[in-house]
Structure 1
Amino acid sequence: GDFRGALAAASADGDAARRPMALVLSAIYWRNTWKYQARGYRHFFWDSGAMLANLLAAAGALGFEPRVLAGFVDREVNALLGLDPEREAALEIIPLGPLSPPAPPAPPVDPIDYPIVPLSSEAVDYPALREIHSASMLDTPEVVRAWRRAEPLPARSPRAPTIGLPEPRREAGRAFGETVLRRASTRQFSHEALSALELSTALASAAGGIPADFPSQLVSLYLIVNAVEGIEPGSYCYWPGGNGLELLSPGDHRSRSAYLCLDQPLGGDAAAVIYFLAPLDAILTRWGNRGYRIANLEAGYCGGRAYLAAYAQGFGASGLTFYDADVGRFFEPHARGLDAIFVTALGRSARGGAREPAPLRIR
C-alpha cells in the first residue's frame, strides 16, 4: 500500500505525502552500545549525520530535492516500520523526489512482527539509553509543529580580525562515486602539511548547512592547526560567512590535541583537527530534549561533509572521540558556554594517497 499519507501525518509535513519516496534512518542500539555502552546514544546521530552527508550529496545531484525531517511522532513512525523501540528506533525521515499530487489516504497500519535473526547470541541492555531517547520523543503532530516553531539561535560574530582563507574549490578531486567508495577513516596520519586551499575547501564544505526542519549552524567549528601551508600553528575559530579563521592561541598544540582526542595519536599527527562545539543549554531551551539529537546530528553531518571534501581532494579524515569537558576548556574563554559535540581530524595518510584530477562537486 501507499503509506506516504501516514508518514506525512506523523511528521506533520504535507510535502512528505507529495514526494514519490522517503527514506527513514534508524538505529539498532546494540550496534553501538556493545562498544560505547549508554554513551553510544550520541553515535546514533553522528553516524546518521555522516550517512546523510553522502545521501544528500547524491540526492541533490540527482535533483531529488532532499530535506531532513528530525521532528516526527516517534511512536507512529516506529509502528509504521515495525520497529521494536526496545531495540531500534527511527532517527530521521528524508522525503525525496519532485513534488507530485498528494498521496491517497493511507490504508490501516497493521502491526509488523516478523521473526528476526539476532545480531549476536546475547545483547546487554542499557536502560539509560532508552530513557534518554524516550525523553526526547514528540507525542503528537501538534507538538511536532510547535517544536519546529522554535526561534533560531542568535548569530555569533568574530571578536578579532580574521585571517582570510583562499576561495574554496567548487570542484576538486575524485568523482563522487569513487570518493564515497574510497571514503574511510584514516588510521595513521603523516605530519605532511595540507595547503590552505585544501583546508578552506574542507571547512567551507563542513559548514555549508543541512537542509532540515530545524535551523542550520547549531554547531561552531573550532580548530587546532598543526601543519597547513601559510597558516601559523595554533588554535582558531572558523567563520563561514567570511571564510576566515580567528586566531585564539598561537603555538604548537600537537600534544594537547592528541590528549583532547582521548589520548589518540591521530589527534596530534593530523594536519588540522576540527572540534565541533554547540551551546547545548540554549539548544535544549529552544528545542527541548530533542535538541540533543539535532546538535549531534548536525555535527555528524558537518563531519561527514568534511570527510567527503578531504577524500575528494586526495587526503584523509578520521572522526574521533574526545574528553568532552577538556575540549571546551581548551578553547575558553572564546568558547565559553559551548559544549564539545564531535571531532574530525584532517591530514595526509602515512601510507600515502595521491591526488587525482577527476571533478567532484562538493558544494
Structure 2
Amino acid sequence: MIDLLSYGAFFLTMALTYAVICLGLNLQWGQTGLFNVGVAGFVAVGAYVSSILTTPAIDGRLGGFDLPIVIGWLGGGLGAGILCFLLGALTLRLRADYLAIATFGAAVVIQLTLLNLEGITGGPFGIGFIPRPFGGLAENPSLFAIANLGVLILLVLVSYFALQRLTRSPWGRVLRALREDEEAAKALGKDPVTYRLQAFAIGGFIMGLGGAAQAHFIGFIAPDNYMPTLTFQVWTMLIVGGSGNMRGAILGAVLVWAIWALSGSLVASVFPPDQQARAASLQIVLIGVALCLVLLLRPYGILGEAGTVRAPLRRALRRDLNSHSEGQKTDV
C-alpha cells in the first residue's frame, strides 16, 4: 500500500511538471497562435539555470551558489523568459512555419551548447545532486513523495490562476484577436509584435519554471533529457487536452503522461533489454495513435476552446440575432 501511494504521488508529480510546461505553450499557441517547436530548449534553460544556482560547488563545473530552491526556480523561469524575449524580438515578425523553423533551430543550438560547455553544464555527464524540496523527508519515501506532490499542485494552481486571469483580461482578448484576425486588431490600434513578444516571453517563463521544477524533482539532468521528443510530448499533451483551454492543458498533460508511463512499462516487459531502442520508438508510435484518435473523435481536444471562447461568442451572436428579429417584428 505504501509503495502504491509513493508511486501514485511520483506519477502525479511528474505529470504536473509537464502540466506547467504545457500551460506555457498554451499561452503561446492556444491563445496567441505562435507556433513554437523549440519547447525542449526553453525547458532545458530553466532546468540548467535553476540547477546551477542551487547546487553545491563541484570541481570543474560552475556552481556552488547553493541558493534556495525558490530562487533557483525563479531564476530558471527568468532565464527562459529572457531567452524567449530575445529570440522573439528577432523572429516574431516571421509567420507560421518560418517561426517554427527558427524556434526548432534555437532548441537544437541550446541542446548542443549544453552538451559542449562542460565547465558550466557538465557536458554529457549533466548535473547531479540537485536539491529536492523537503529533502529532509527523504528517509520516509511516502511522506517525501506526498510533500513534493503538494509543492507541484501549488505551482500548477498558481500558474493556472495567473494565466487564467491574464487571458480573461483585455490583454488576453487582444491576443486572441491577433490570432483570429491580425488586420482587424491592427485597425483598432494594437501592435501585433509587442503583444506577441509579451506572450512569447511570459510563456517561456512558465516553461522555464516547469523545467526547473522537473529538474529538482528528478535530481539529475543531462542534455539527452531535452531532445525533440520532449517537444513532441508537450505538443501532444496540449492538443489532446484542448488547445486554448488552461484546464485542457493540465488534463492533457496528466493523460498523455499516463499513456507514456504505461506504454513504457508495457514495452519494457515485452522487449528484451538489448532492444530498448525499439521499445522507445514504439512508445512514440502509441502516443501518435492516441493523438490521431483524439483528433478524429474530438477535433478541438477533450476540453477544447469551444467551451471557453466559442460558446460564449455563439450565445452573444444568438442574442443579437434575437434582438434583431424582435426589432423587425416591432417595425411590422
* TM superposition score normalised by structure 1: 0.27
* TM superposition score normalised by structure 2: 0.29
**Higher normalized contact order (CA 8 Å, seq sep 6+, divided by chain length):** 2
More strand by share: 1
More helix by share: 2
